[in-house]
DNA sequence: ATGTCCACTAGGAGTGGA
């Protein structure tokens, strides 16, 4: 089974791109973020025709998360919960579904802007709330996956410039603390688990030719419980889908692909 | 190079967010 996380930066703007990905890479479950669509505006028909069911928690203009499930692996996936209790003013950023015998959570962590900005404190609080949510609601002894755009660089290997970014947004101890809590709660970073020494980024700024200069960050993460870790065959980041395809503009994030037995 | 892309409001280009 192939499980993916991908911040698409507008599902409306990226629809053809995403359908191309489903066709080309044949994933079974895709956690998506930054839909930028209200649920009533989601293009369900296009995904149904592509053989997928989409479970979404969206809002107008910003944020929005979802899980796409291939109908042949589970014709009746279910939404278990939406939203992060106590943090609703931050927008639609969390959805948990039950699909193909797995608990799958798609998360879009607030960006935070800069460490001096009030949004940074709210981001750190949201991350703490996420760890609380995992502790209360997700089962470390089950088949559990938590994937999404964390807007946090887990370690020095995950940034193109560890020296220049010391203490900078995405790189602070306060943001990394909640990721350590996830580990303590039994969830492991599957990419790093399978590729201990590999530098591979999942996000590059649209500006300044960052992609071609290899100035990226690994901020899109897939966490799995112990039983998932034991089933993982390979984890990779699909740089090809950060490139223009047939003149179409990509998201600023690349899909992270996890293959499990 | 604060260099791009997206949604929204508006009915053209500016604003806010990332």
- Chain CA centroid to CA A81, Å: 17
A253 — pLDDT class (breaks 50, 70, 90): very high
Q: What are phi and psi of A156, to 5 degrees?
A: -60, -30
Measure, in angstroms, how far nucleotide B8 C1' is from residue A189 CA.
Answer: 37
Those nucleotides of strand B lying less than 7 Å from any protein Cβ are 1-8, 17-18
**pLDDT interval class at A239 (50, 70, 90):** very high
For residue range A157-189, list pLDDT tens digits in order.
999 999 999 999 999 999 999 999 999 999 999
Distance between the two ends of chain A, CA-based, in angstroms? 6
Q: In the structure, how far is the CA atom of residue A211 from the C1' atom of nucleotide B3, in angstroms? A: 13
Average pLDDT, chain A: 97
- Each domain of chain A, given as residue ranges in start order, spans 2-260
Domain A2-260 CATH superfamily: Endonuclease/exonuclease/phosphatase (3.60.10.10)
Confidence of residue A190 (pLDDT cuts 50, 70, 90): very high
Q: Which residues touch strand B (CB under 7 A)?
A: A 9-10, 12-14, 36, 60-62, 110-111, 113, 119, 206-209, 249
- pTM for this entry: 0.98
H helix intervals, A185-249: 190-194, 226-229
pLDDT for position A60: 95
CA of A205 to C1' of B5 (A): 10
CA A255/CA A206 separation, integer angstroms: 16
Query: What's the mean pLDDT in A147-163?
Result: 97
Q: Which residue is nearest to nucleotide B17 (CA to C1')?
A: A62
pLDDT at A85: 96
Closest to A54 measured CA to CA, from A10, A92, A95 = A95
Band the pLDDT of A62: cuts 50, 70, 90.
Answer: very high
Using C1' positions and the CA of A205, the closest nucleotide is B4
């Amino acid at each position: 089974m192939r499980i993916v996380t991908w911040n698409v930066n507008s599902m409306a703007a990226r629809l053809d791109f995403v359908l191309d990905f489903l066709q080309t890479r044949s994933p079974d479950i895709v956690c998506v973020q930054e839909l930028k669509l209200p649920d009533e505006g989601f293009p369900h028909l296009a995904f149904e025709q592509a053989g997928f069911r989409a479970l979404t928690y969206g809002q107008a203009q910003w944020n929005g998360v979802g899980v796409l499930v291939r109908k042949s692996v589970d014709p009746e996936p279910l939404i278990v919960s939406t939203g992060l209790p106590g943090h609703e003013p931050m927008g639609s950023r969390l959805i948990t579904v039950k699909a193909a015998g797995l608990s799958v959570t798609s998360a879009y962590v607030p960006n935070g802007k800069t460490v001096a900005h009030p949004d940074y404190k709210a981001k750190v609080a949201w991350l703490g709330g996420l760890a609380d949510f995992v502790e209360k609601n997700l089962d470390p002894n089950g088949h559990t996956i938590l994937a999404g755009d964390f807007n946090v660089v887990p370690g020095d290997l995950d940034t193109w410039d560890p020296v220049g970014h010391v203490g900078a947004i995405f790189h602070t101890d306060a943001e990394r603390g909640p990721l350590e809590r996830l580990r303590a709660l039994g969830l492991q970073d599957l990419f790093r688990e399978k590729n201990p020494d590999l530098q591979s980024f999942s996000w590059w700024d649209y500006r300044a030719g960052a992609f071609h200069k290899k100035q990226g960050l690994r901020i899109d993460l897939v966490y799995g419980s112990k039983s998932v870790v034991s089933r993982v065959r390979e984890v990779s980041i699909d740089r090809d889908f950060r490139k223009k395809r047939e003149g179409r503009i990509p998201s600023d994030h690349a899909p992270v692909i996890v293959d499990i037995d």
